[in-house]
Amino acid sequence: MFLSVFDLFKLGVGPSSSHTMGPMVAGQRFLDSLRVQPFRAHGLRASLHGSLAFTGKGHATDRATILGLAGFTPASMDMEAAEAALARNRETRLLEPQGLGPLVFDPERDLRFDYDHTLPGHANGMTLSATDAQGDVIYHQIYYSIGGGFVMTDQELADKAGAVRSDATSSVPYPFASAAEMLEMAQASGKSIARMKEANELCFRSRPDMLAGLDRIWTAMRDCMDRGLSTDGVLPGGLHVRRRARAIHAKLVEERGLNMTAPHVINDWMSAYAMAVNEENAAGGQVVTAPTNGAAGTVPAVIRYWLDHVPGASERLLPDFLLTAAAVGGLIKHNASISGAECGCQAEVGSAAAMAAAGLAAVLGGTPQQVENAAEIALEHHLGMTCDPVRGLVQVPCIERNGLGAIKAVAAASLALRGDGSHIVPLDAAIETMRQTGRDMSEKYKETSLGGLAVNVPNC
C-alpha cells in the first residue's frame, strides 16, 4: 500500500492518535459498515482491550469512542457539536449517527474497559458491536489502532501480515521499501528524496493539490504551536501539569539580542516550540500527527527552528522538508512501527526525530546519503526508549520528550552534514533494531502505565 505524506501528517485532535483518533476512526468505519447491512440495529456496544484499556481513560478513549459512534471524525470535528453530542448521550443514553437513527448506547453499561483480555493482533484492540432490541449481538467487528491514527480490521491486519513487501508500493515510479532501495533509486535517477517522493505523490493527486495540502499541514502545525505559545493554565487529567511553553518563550523573546546569552539557549527555543504543540495536544486541541500525536511537537519545532533561526531559510522549501520527512516516516512504519503500544516511545518520538532530522538535512542542502545518515543518527539514539506515561496522560514525560527529540534531530542533521554520508549503521539496521527491541520490550513499558515513570512517580 502506498503511504502518502498525507497519511503520515494528518489533521486530528489530542491527546493521542492511537487512543483518541484511532477509536474515533474505528467508530466511523463501523457506522459505515452498519449502513450497508440488511438489518436495522437497535443499540451499540464497545469493548476496549490491551493498551486501549489500560491508558484509555487518560487518553480520552472513552470519549473518542462515543464520538466516533456518534459519527464524528478527527479531521472535521467541531468541538461545540461534539460536546453537545456527549451531553445528549449522558441525558438520553442514545446516539444519533446520520442514516442509522437513534441507537441505544449507555456508556456505563455498553462501554467496557477489558483489562484481562488482549486481542491477538495488536496491543491497541477494540471490538464494536451492534445489538437488536433484545440486546443480542447481531453484528460485530474487531479493529486495531496501529499508531498515527491508522486503523485496521482484524482481517486487514492479517492480510497486511501476509503481503509481499516488494508489492507494497509497486504502483509508483520510485517504489522504495527500504532505505537501501531509496538510496539506490536516488543514485540511479539523480533525484533527491523529496523529488522521488513528490513523483510518487503525483500519481494520486495534481501538483497544485499536493502543494495546497502541504501548506495546510504546515499552517495547522504553526497555528497549533502559536496557540500553545500564547496559552497559560493547567492541563486536564488530574496531574495538575502547568503549561510552560508560553512563559519560556516570553523569557526567550525578552532575552533576544543580549550579548551575554549562552549559545545553548537555542535548545530552549526548540523545546518551547515542541512543548507548545504537545501542551495543546494534551489539552485535546487540534494537532497534526507527526507521525503520532504523542510525537506531534518534534517535526514542527525543527521546522520553526529552521525558519526562524537559520540564515537563508525559506518557506519555499517547506514541501521538500515535509516530503523527505514523510519518506523516512513511511519506511519506519512499513518496516517497524510508529506505535508506542507496539514498540515504545522509540517508535513515536524516535521516529519523529528521524523524520525531522531527514527533513532538516534535506533543506540545508544534504545529499540523499547525508539525509539517510541524519535519520539514522536520530533514530539510533532513541533506541530502547519506553512509553511510560504517568497516569496514562500524554503529559509526563511526553511533553518535554518532544523538545529533546527536536534537539536530537537538529544535532543529528548537523553531524550528518559534517560528513560525506558514509557511516557504519545503515538506517535500515536502526529501523530493524527498533522493531526487534519493541518486540522484546516488556509489555508494561509499552503505553500501559504499568512500569517505568508511570509507577515510580506519584500521580496524585
- Residue 41 has a pLDDT of 96
Q: Does the pLDDT at position 240 exceed 60? A: yes
368 close to 182: Cβ distance less than 8 angstroms:
yes
Amino acid at residue number 103: L
Read off the DSSP letter of residue 20.
Answer: I
66 close to 111: Cβ distance less than 8 angstroms:
yes
116: cell is 484481562
Q: Does the pLDDT at position 162 exceed 90? A: no
Strand partners, 185: none
326 close to 316: Cβ distance less than 8 angstroms:
no
349 close to 288: Cβ distance less than 8 angstroms:
no
35-90 tens-digit pLDDT: 999 999 999 999 999 999 999 988 899 999 999 999 999 988 888 999 999 999 99
- pTM of the full structure: 0.93
The residue-averaged pLDDT of 176-203 equals 98
100-147 tens-digit pLDDT: 989 999 999 999 999 999 999 999 999 999 999 999 999 999 999 999
259: cell is 550579548
- Residue 1 has a pLDDT of 52
- Residue 260 has a pLDDT of 84
Confidence band (pLDDT; 50, 70, 90) for 168? very low
Helix, strand, coil shares of the chain as percentages rounded to 5? 55, 10, 35
Q: Does 322 or 257 have the greater pLDDT score?
A: 322
256 close to 272: Cβ distance less than 8 angstroms:
no
Domains and CATH numbers, the chain: 18-161 (3.30.1330.90), 165-456 (1.10.4100)
383-433 tens-digit pLDDT: 999 999 999 999 999 999 999 999 999 999 999 999 999 999 999 999 999
Q: Does the pLDDT at position 341 exceed 50? A: yes
Confidence band (pLDDT; 50, 70, 90) for 170? low
254-285 tens-digit pLDDT: 999 888 889 999 999 999 999 999 999 999 99
Between the CA atoms of 276, 280, 282 and 287, what dihedral angle is there, to the nearest 10 degrees? -110
Q: Measured at the alpha carbon of residue 354, what is the angle toward residues 351 and 359, in degrees to the nearest 5?
A: 125
The residue-averaged pLDDT of 340-355 equals 97
Share of the chain above pLDDT 70, in %: 97
Strand partners, 124: 50
Closest alpha carbon to 342 in 113, 144, 48: 144
- Residue 345 has a pLDDT of 98
> Is residue 147 helix, strand or coil?
strand
Q: Are strands 137-147 and 111-114 parallel, antiparallel or unpaired?
A: unpaired
C-beta atoms surrounding 163 within 10 Å: 11
Q: Does the pLDDT at position 167 exceed 50? A: no
Q: Does the pLDDT at position 165 exceed 60? A: no
Residue 37 phi, psi dihedral angles, 5° rounding: -80, 150
Q: Does the pLDDT at position 460 exceed 70? A: no
Closest alpha carbon to 352 in 1, 17, 13, 2: 17
419 close to 319: Cβ distance less than 8 angstroms:
no
- Residue 166 has a pLDDT of 38
Share of the chain above pLDDT 90, in %: 92
- Residue 36 has a pLDDT of 96
Mean pLDDT (the chain, rounded): 95
The residue-averaged pLDDT of 337-351 equals 97
4-34 tens-digit pLDDT: 999 999 999 999 999 999 999 999 999 999 9
Distance (Å, whole) CA 103 – CA 101: 6
Element spanning 127, H or E: strand 124-131
- Residue 396 has a pLDDT of 97
